[in-house]
Amino acid sequence: MIMSRMRCNAAEGGVSTVLVVDDEPTARLALAARLQRLGYRVIQAGDGKAGLEALRRERPSLTILDWMMPEMDGPSFCEYVRQDPELLTSQILMMTSHDQPEQIAEGLARGADDFLSKAASKYEITARVQAGIRAATLVRRLRDATEEIRQKQEVLEQELQSAARYVESLLPPPGIILPGVQMVHAYRPSLALGGDLFNIVPWSDDFFGLYLLDASGHGVSPALRSSSFSTFLRRDSLLRHVGSNDPGAILTEANKQFPLTETGHYFTIVFASLDLRCHTLSYATAGHGGALLHRRSGEVCWMAQPNLPLGFDPSTTYVTATLPIGPGDRLYLLSDGLYEFPAASGELWGQGRLETTIQALGQQPLETVITETIAEAVRWQGHEQFPDDVALMGVEVAI
Amino acid sequence: MQTKERPVPNGVVLEMTGDLTYANREQFKTAVEAIRQKGCRHLILNMAEVRFVDSSGLGLLALVSQNFKLSQAKVSMLKPQSYVREIMSLANIQKLIPVYDNEQDAL
């Protein structure tokens, strides 16, 4: 609607409307006639109040306003207009018979855009009116463009929110994943959309896989890449493409399927399998440091193996490592966003403090450990918003 | 990030100053691509003045190494600082880009 008004008024050669507000009929009619001869559509108002009504109703390109009027004078009219959010961008040309510099300064200070002497020549009137209309056109274009940007931004944000809800719907619901195995997680994307994803891959009644992946970069593109990778990591897909539940074999195949993008983006990942019958944890990592085993005894074991992130070199073979696990042991998979973030001083929280925090929380309920670890990290950085995506998944084995 | 090229026998040393991060990836990419286009056989990245490399910077190093390999050329790294060296070794980047502590060894 705003666009259509702009078109018929000025932007594409339509007739511009000028409002003349003056209590003195002779002067008003004379100016109106002159403006009509110049090709403008003219509306007239005999006092400030009627002027404001006309301004609101007609939204003229330019208002020419007499300074001296009973009740509401020119400067008061201007002040009123500048306080009204709907009218404040109106162009106002104030007319006065005594154009003293102090008076001009006062008029401008109270909200007029320009001045016109009552004694001005025909040429000056034409020139000032044209200048005013030019300014009005620019202001309208700017306002329309701002409005258009705001609307587009709103659409984009709604789409981002809906994409974010989709990504979160890919995450596993916390709870008992197999008899005797509890899982709790925390997920804090740095923007609406995150590039971290994690999930459970059920192999059998007493054997399951779990992974946490981190796509480099922030925002829409890593979120898309992550969700495509998580599709590859579904049970059926893995059995079809890899034909094995061995973590090393899975990452070796994923490394071929997900090469470095042309802009240099890639994944880091930890993939683990827990065999409850044999009490073993087998795992492989690709450039991913965030995986630790917190034993019931209190011992903490970081599972990182120094090796390339996925996609860096297609010939890489990722090797499975194996650890024994026992009742009460807890496995934590996390993204580096949970330790590579600074305090206000610039000092990073680091893996050491994360480990100390988890150790200090000890055998408190898994839910508490996850919540309190995030809370401790938030205390360190001094605010809620992490600079990178943060994901933390904890699994406790009771049998 | 600021970069300065210095020709050496059979290659080019790129002196890097600043952080290699998402924010300044374009400067680094442009500098390196220009060197590759000129047919350089061996690019030596001097990291002595680089304080920080983020995950995006790491990906860029891998990409540069892949692109040089396609041109039958190689990339080496010189004197990374301790924090950067730690990031490089966690990601096993020396498998793609050999790391040296002095220029003579790199040549």
pTM tops 0.90: no
At A3 the pLDDT is: 39
Q: What's the pLDDT tens digit per position in A305-343?
A: 889 999 999 999 999 999 999 999 999 999 999 998 888
CATH of the domain at B79: 3.30.750.24
At A101 the pLDDT is: 86
At A4 the pLDDT is: 39
CB spacing of B59 vs A264 below 8 angstroms? yes
- Give me the domain span that covers residue B37: 2-106
Which residues on chain B are in Cβ contact (under 8 Å) with A269? Answer: none
Provide the number of structural domains found in chain B: 1
Nearest to B59 among A216, A304, A306 (CB): A216
3-state SS string for A162-206: HHHHHHHHCCCCCEEEECCEEEEEEEECCCCCCCEEEEEEEEECC
CATH number of A170-397: 3.60.40.10
Residue B31 CB neighbour total at 10 angstroms: 16
HSE (CB half, 13 Å, CA atoms) of B41?
A: 6
Q: Which residue of B has its CA nearest to A286?
A: B91
Q: What's the pLDDT tens digit per position in A286-305?
A: 999 999 999 999 999 999 88
Q: Which residue of A has its CA nearest to B64?
A: A264
At A7 the pLDDT is: 37
The radius of gyration computed from the CA coordinates of chain B, to the nearest angstrom, equals 12
> Is A139's pLDDT higher than 60?
yes
Ranges of H-type helices in chain B:
25-37, 55-70, 82-90, 103-106
Residues of chain A with CATH 3.40.50.2300: 2-147
E strands, chain A, in order:
17-21, 41-45, 62-66, 91-96, 114-117, 175-178, 181-188, 196-204, 207-215, 267-275, 280-286, 291-294, 300-302, 321-324, 330-334, 390-397
- Residue A358, classified by CB atoms within 10 Å of its CB into exposed (0-12), middle (13-18) or buried (19+), is buried
For residues A357 and A287, the answer to whether their CB atoms sit within 8 Å is no
CATH number of A2-147: 3.40.50.2300
Q: Which residues pair with A395 in a beta bridge?
A: A183, A331
Q: Computed from CA positions of residues A258, B80, A217, B24, in that sequence, does the dihedral angle turn out positive or negative?
A: negative
CB neighbour burial string for A251-282, b if at least 16 within 10 angstroms, e if fewer: bbbbbeebebbeebbbbbbbbbbbbbeeeebb
Q: In a mutagenesis test of the B interface, which of A190, A191, A213, A216 is the best target, namely the one with the most B β-carbons within 10 Å? A: A216
At A12 the pLDDT is: 43
CB spacing of A264 vs B22 below 8 angstroms? no
User: DSSP label at A348?
Assistant: B
B30 touching A, CB under 8 A? Answer: no
At A305 the pLDDT is: 85
At B106 the pLDDT is: 81
For residues B88 and B99, the answer to whether their CB atoms sit within 8 Å is yes
A98 against A12, higher pLDDT: A98
At A193 the pLDDT is: 83
CB spacing of A308 vs B25 below 8 angstroms? no
Largest CA distance in chain A: 104
> Per-residue pLDDT for chain B (107 aa), expressed as one digit of tens each?
889 999 998 899 999 999 998 888 889 999 999 999 999 999 999 999 998 898 889 999 999 999 999 999 999 999 999 889 988 888 889 999 999 998 888 88
ipTM of the complex: 0.87
> Is A172's pLDDT higher than 90?
yes
Q: How far is A267 from chain B (nearest CA, A)?
A: 10
B46, B52, B55, B59 alpha-carbon torsion, rounded to 10°: -10
Three-state secondary-structure class, residue A101: helix
Encoded tokens for A313: 């070199």
User: 């300065």: which residue's tokens?
Assistant: B4
The radius of gyration computed from the CA coordinates of chain A, to the nearest angstrom, equals 35
CB spacing of A312 vs B60 below 8 angstroms? no
B31 touching A, CB under 8 A? Answer: no
Instruction: For residues A181-193, give the mean pLDDT.
Output: 90
Q: Whole-number mean pLDDT of chain A?
A: 91
Instruction: For residues A242-259, give the mean pLDDT.
Output: 96
At A13 the pLDDT is: 54
Encoded tokens for A227: 């969700």
Lowest mean pLDDT among A47-56, A88-97, A204-213, A371-380: A88-97
Residues of chain A with CATH 3.60.40.10: 170-397
